Structure formats: C-alpha cells, structure tokens
Amino acid sequence: MSKNIVEIQNVGMKYQSINGEINAIENISFSVEKGSFVSIVGPSGCGKSTLLSIISGLLKPSSGKVFIDGEEVTKTSDKVGYMLQKDYLFDWRTIYQNVILGLEIRKNLNPENKDYALNLLKTYGLYDFKDKYPSQLSGGMRQRAALIRTLAVKPEILLLDEAFSALDSQTRLAVTEDIYSIIKNENKTAIMVTHDISESISMSDRVVVLSKRPAVIKNIHQIVFDCPNRTPLKCREHPSFREYFNLIWKELDVHV
C-alpha cells in the first residue's frame, strides 16, 4: 500500500471580521497518497481555496490539523509548491530570473539548484526563452514557466489553485495536457482545486466533492480509467467519463 503523504484531520476554518463570523469549512478529513492526483471540487465560494491555503501553511486552521510526511504543518513547508490562478510572472524579471525566484527567497541559490532550474527549462522547451521577458511569451508558455518556477524549489507536493482558470478554453485544454504530463514526469503528488468537473475527472485519481458553505465533504470518488498511459484528453474521450461527470454533477446539486 502506498504511503499517505498528506493527512488532513478534522480541519475547520472560521473567518472573523467586524461584521461577523464566516464559517468557511467544517470538519474536513481526507488523505492523499504519494504520487497521486487529487482534485477538490465544490460550488464557487465554498472554501476550496481556503482549504488549499491551510494545507500550504499560509493560513492557520481554526480547528484540526494537517500533516505532511507525518509532520504537522505550522508554517509554509519546503515540501509544498503552490500554483495560483494566473502565472504571476514578474514583468521586471526575465524568465530565468522568474524561475529562480523561489530559490532566491529560500536562500537556496547555489550552483546545483541553478543547474536544476536551467535543466527544467531545457527539458520543457523554455531554455531559448530564458532571457526573454514574460510579455514576450504566449499564455501557455507563461503557465509552463510558472510551473517550472514552482518545480525549481523541488517540492514533493504541488497545490494547484484553479491554476488554469485564467486561460481561454482551447489553451486551457492544451495547457492541462502539458502540465499534467510534467507533473507525472516529475513524479509529484498534486492537489488541485477547481470548479470544472470535467477537468477534475480528467486529471485525478480521486475527486473530493465539497458542499456549499460551510463546506463539508459530500463524497470522495475514486476515478479509474482502464486506459494505459492516461492523459487528460484521453480520459475525456473514455466511455466512463460521462458516468463520473453525471455522478459528480448530481452531487454538486447546481441550481441556477
């Protein structure tokens, strides 16, 4: 049996403000196996991103605990890499300078890590663009550069927070394919938050469905496709894709 790299135990979060208290998430527990891909879906505003921020250590939960590799999360961990909704490459830095940002902040900018970053750029076809500025790259390339920036600090777990939502739908499919293959190639564990049911099914081994606020876990689906070398696009064409989709769609109980 594979080892659980992330353990989330009874996590709850209440936001305080002058106007009152918001109960964002309640009593969430699940675990993530090493090397697997887990998605969290739920209605918008249900606290999905809050959950991700708690796992990363950016936010302290009001109750419950998160463990990474058996250690309780109290601050941002070096084992975790985070990808945000947009690439947020800095305009004033070249692609290479952007990619080594995390190393700079963690004060790990040694020759070995620089080489590692350059190799990632080589492997994923951005080496020739390393001295260009972000505005000179296409949306898909920028997203890839953002992923390399995250990978450069050698995280074991990737947290993707609606990481593709800023892209148009065609680019989104291509970038999903691209990022998925990089994550699998680098053998990373991934936890992704999305509002897109198809995206979550096409990429994940497990889908966690959350209710509306205060979010609790409605169900956790094992996603199994009997297709070798699965990719998100292949999954979308698989006959059982529809079944999973309908199941989760009903569970989400979307009303207009």
Q: Kindly state whether residue 56 participates in binding another protein, applying the rule CB under 8 A.
A: yes
Q: Kindly state whether residue 93 participates in binding another protein, applying the rule CB under 8 A.
A: yes
Say how far apart CA 22 and CA 102 lie, in whole Å: 33
Residues 82-115 as b/e (b if ≥16 CB within 10 A, e otherwise) read bbbebbebeeeebbbebbbbbbeeeebeeeebbe
Return the number of the residue (82 or 180) whose C-beta is nearest another protein. 82
Of these, 82, 96, 129, 164, which contacts another protein (CB under 8 A)?
82
Question: At its nearest, how many Å lie between another protein and the CB of residue 81?
Answer: 8
Question: At its nearest, how many Å lie between another protein and the CB of residue 40?
Answer: 17
Return the number of the residue (101 or 223) whose C-beta is nearest another protein. 101
Q: Kindly state whether residue 90 participates in binding another protein, applying the rule CB under 8 A.
A: yes
User: For the window 144-183, what string marks contact with another protein as x by the rule CB under 8 A?
Assistant: ---------x------------------------------
Q: Kindly state whether residue 15 participates in binding another protein, applying the rule CB under 8 A.
A: no
Of these, 75, 168, 222, 254, which contacts another protein (CB under 8 A)?
75
Q: Kindly state whether residue 81 participates in binding another protein, applying the rule CB under 8 A.
A: yes
Say how far apart CA 171 and CA 161 lie, in whole Å: 17
Q: Kindly state whether residue 101 participates in binding another protein, applying the rule CB under 8 A.
A: yes
Question: At its nearest, how many Å lie between another protein and the CB of residue 135?
Answer: 5
Q: How far is CA 62 from CA 28, 159, 193, in A?
A: 12, 21, 20
How many CB atoms are located within 10 Å of the residue 3 CB?
10
H/E segment holding residue 6? strand 4-17
Q: How far is CA 137 from CA 7, 78, 173, 218, 232, in A?
A: 38, 28, 18, 41, 24
Say how far apart CA 27 and CA 79 lie, in whole Å: 24
Number of residues counted as binding another protein (CB under 8 A): 25
How many CB atoms are located within 10 Å of the residue 239 CB?
8
How many CB atoms are located within 10 Å of the residue 133 CB?
16
Return the number of the residue (69 or 177) whose C-beta is nearest another protein. 69
- Give the binding range for another protein (CB under 8 A) out of 23-31, 96-104, 110-118, 119-127: 96-104
Give the tokens for residue 86.
Answer: 């947009």
Question: At its nearest, how many Å lie between another protein and the CB of residue 114?
Answer: 16
State the residues that interact with another protein by CB under 8 A.
56, 58, 75-76, 78, 80-82, 84-86, 88, 90-93, 101-102, 104-106, 133, 135-136, 153
